[in-house]
Structures are given as structure tokens and as C-alpha cells.
Amino acid sequence: METIRGIVPPHLLRRIASLEDERFSVAVAAARSALAERTEHHHHPNVARPAPAGPGLHRRVHDAQNATSLPGRLVRSEGDPATGDVAVDEAYDGFGATDALFRGVYGRRSIDDADLPLVGTVHYGRAYDNAFWDGSRMVFGDGDGEIFGRFTASLSVIGHELTHGLIEFTAALDYRDQSGALNESIADVFGALVEQHAAGQTADQASWLIGAGLFTDQVDGAALRSMSAPGTAYDDDVLGRDPQPGHMDDYIETTEDSGGVHLNSGIPNKAFHLVATTLGGRAWEVAGRIWLETLLGGALSRQATFDQFARATIAVAGQYDAADVVRDAWQAVGVWTTSTSPSSSSG
């Protein structure tokens, strides 16, 4: 059985599943259930995709009613009023916020650039501790109520998972080792940018947190990941400390989690944060365009390494007079040393 590819990394689910604490009995059962799920429900690019519905944004939100059959009962379509079900309405609004960035700012017609309807299912399973993109739709659990709350509550999570769909339609980066960590990182980048764009925040104003608001008050943590300071998102007596590295010196060699994709993504995450904050202003305007154009440009192999992706971002950044900033950011996280760094002329 392969690793589940949802927003909650498997190392965290395993930690919860191993707890022997009566306060978290529901969470333990939920984590074990999430780990036991098979991957045909997770990031499967061959599932039937929703039929085109004409130009423009088309949202559909379904309710699984705590079952695991997809898509569930259709409860809100494009243009329908709010339902009063907070998960349904958060998913609907989150899809709109994601489309507002990709369509409204970057001119992309949905994640496939062909007006793919944005479809989601809420109330998936019972106390389900994850959210994922399955190749056709987003799926949200309600959380266990002890460690995790509902997964629609975080706009960065919605943007993150829909970006996995964008990646499938573009560079199709393999989901393992460094290309998998890039896949996770790019999803974090645009998850953060969706949230920042919706709030009108500059790079300096943003939290740079992924999954803020998911943890209950019983957890000493701000989010699942921090792009500005990888390894600091949570430090909890029960969950332990966030293990993400932010520098190549601390790169984690492992066979778990498809080669540590949720862990080592902290390194390119930090590089993007450095680019965005050094350039200043709204991160989606230049830094985001550089990352998106790199993804769309056709220069990446499916097995792209950090070094290869970084060089491709420099080439794109030259169009924005930002090649030096981008090169310095990748050097700061250890992808290169001073002696191995590409010259600014490569941008």
C-alpha cells in the first residue's frame, strides 16, 4: 500500500495513531483509519473528470454524509445561495478564491486551462483526518474534533490541493523524492498565495502558514507547515516538533512518505519565501508568476530535482529582473554554494 497523499503528512498521522492517551481516543482511531485507506481515492489522475460546463467558473459541492462513496449528494452549484452548512459554504468560497487567483490574476481558465469545473465533496467519512485531490475533485474530512477540526476551514489547504490538480495538468512532477517535494512545495506556494490574494496581504503581512486553523485548542501549534520558518509550525507534547528542514544541510533521506516529500518540501518553500519577501509587495505579482511560468514552461522533467527546478526559475526570473534575487534564495537554502551557484547571466 502506498502512502496517502493528503494535506496531513503520514508521519503526523502515524504519530497520532501511536498515541496511548485517553484524551485522544477518537483522534487515534481516525488517524489509523486515514492511514489504512488505499490510494485509489488519492491523487489518482485516471479517475473520470467532470465534463466541461462552458466558459467561466463552475463550482459544485457534494455532501458524502459521512460515507466514503464519491461524489455524494450535490448540495450547492455555481450561483446557488449559501446553504448554512459551514463546510459546504467554505469549500464553495475556497474554490472561488482559488479561481480568483489563477483566472483573475494569471488568466488561467481553471486548473486545466479549459474551464474544468471545481468539484468537491465535504463530510467525507467519520472523523476523517485529511483533505485530498483525487484527480477529479477535492475531498474534505470533518476532522476528529480532538486534534483536527474540519479541513474546509483553511483556505491555504483548498488552494494547496487544487494546485496538485494544476501540477497534474502541467509539469506532472513525479510524486517521490525531490520532484515529489517540489510537487508538495509548489502546492504550498499557491495555497499560501490564494490565501494572501484573498486577504489582500503583502509578503511582509502574510503568515506564510499552511493549514492554519486546522488544529484544535488542545494542540500547541499554529499550522501544519511554516514556509517562512520550516520546522516551527508546531511544537507539542503530544504531536512532537515539526520536523521540516529549511536547508539542504538537513535534507532528510528516507524511504517513507515517498522519499520525504512532505518533509523536504520545506527547503523550496523557504526559497520561495525568501524570493517573495526580498522582492516585497504582493507575492503573487512577481514571485508567484515566476513559479507558475516555470511550472508551465515545459522545461521541467517529471523527475526534476531541486537544482533543475531552481535553474529553471532563474531563467524565468530574468524576464522580471529578478534572476539575482532568485539565485540568492536558492543559495541561501543550500541548493548551491557560492562556488557552484549559476551566474546571474544564466537568467
CA–CA dist 158, 84 (Å, integer): 19
Question: What is the reported pLDDT for 173?
Answer: 97
Residue where a domain stops, chosen among 108, 136, 169:
169
Residue 313 forms part of a structural domain: yes
42 in active site: no
Q: Are 102 and 190 part of one and the same domain?
A: no
Q: Are 183 and 331 part of one and the same domain?
A: yes
Q: Are 160 and 185 part of one and the same domain?
A: no
Residue 5 forms part of a structural domain: no
Residue 89 forms part of a structural domain: yes
> Residue 248 maps to which CATH number?
1.10.390.10
The alpha-carbon radius of gyration of the chain (Å, integer) is 19
Residue 312 forms part of a structural domain: yes
Question: What is the reported pLDDT for 48?
Answer: 63
Question: What is the reported pLDDT for 337?
Answer: 84
Distance of CA 25 to the CA centre of its chain: 28
Q: Are 213 and 154 in contact, with CB atoms under 8 Å apart?
A: yes
- Looking at the structure of the chain, the number of domains it has is 2
CA–CA dist 181, 204 (Å, integer): 25
Spot the catalytic one: 161, 168, 184, 293.
161
Q: Are 21 and 99 part of one and the same domain?
A: yes
Q: Are 140 and 284 part of one and the same domain?
A: no
CA–CA dist 49, 9 (Å, integer): 25
CA–CA dist 332, 272 (Å, integer): 11
Question: What is the reported pLDDT for 52?
Answer: 66
CB 69: neighbour CB atoms within 10 A?
9
The DSSP symbol for 265 reads T
Residue 54 forms part of a structural domain: yes
Q: Are 320 and 329 in contact, with CB atoms under 8 Å apart?
A: no
CA–CA dist 288, 291 (Å, integer): 5
> Which residue range forms the structural domain that includes residue 339?
177-346
CA–CA dist 114, 57 (Å, integer): 10
Question: What is the reported pLDDT for 338?
Answer: 81
pTM for this one? Answer: 0.94
161 in active site: yes
Query: ω before 71 within 30° of 0 (cis)?
Result: yes
Spot the catalytic one: 41, 58, 262, 273.
262
Closest to 227 in 3D by CA, of 183, 277, 179: 277
CA–CA dist 83, 85 (Å, integer): 5
Question: What is the reported pLDDT for 54?
Answer: 79
Q: Are 127 and 189 part of one and the same domain?
A: no
The DSSP symbol for 214 reads -
Q: Are 136 and 198 part of one and the same domain?
A: no
How would you classify the pairing of strands 118-122 and 240-241? unpaired
Question: What is the reported pLDDT for 40?
Answer: 38
Q: Are 149 and 207 part of one and the same domain?
A: no
Burial class (CB in 10 A: 0-12, 13-18, 19+), 329: buried
Q: Are 132 and 161 in contact, with CB atoms under 8 Å apart?
A: yes
Residue 1 forms part of a structural domain: no
Q: Are 38 and 119 part of one and the same domain?
A: yes
For 186-224, b where at least 16 C-beta lie within 10 A, e where not — what string? bbbbbbbbbbbbbeebebeebbbbbbbbbbeeebebbbb
> Residue 92 maps to which CATH number?
3.10.170.10
Residue 4 forms part of a structural domain: no
The DSSP symbol for 120 reads E
Residue where a domain stops, chosen among 147, 169, 191:
169
CA–CA dist 243, 309 (Å, integer): 23
**Per-10-residue mean pLDDT for the chain, 347 residues long?**
70 95 95 74 54 86 96 98 98 98 97 96 96 94 97 98 96 97 98 98 98 96 98 96 98 95 98 98 98 96 98 97 98 91 59
Residue 3 forms part of a structural domain: no
Q: Are 275 and 305 part of one and the same domain?
A: yes
Question: Cβ neighbours of residue 180 under 8 Å, at least 6 residues apart?
Answer: 173, 174, 258, 259, 261
Q: Are 246 and 103 part of one and the same domain?
A: no
The DSSP symbol for 221 reads B
Q: Are 55 and 147 part of one and the same domain?
A: yes
Residue where a domain stops, chosen among 119, 137, 169:
169
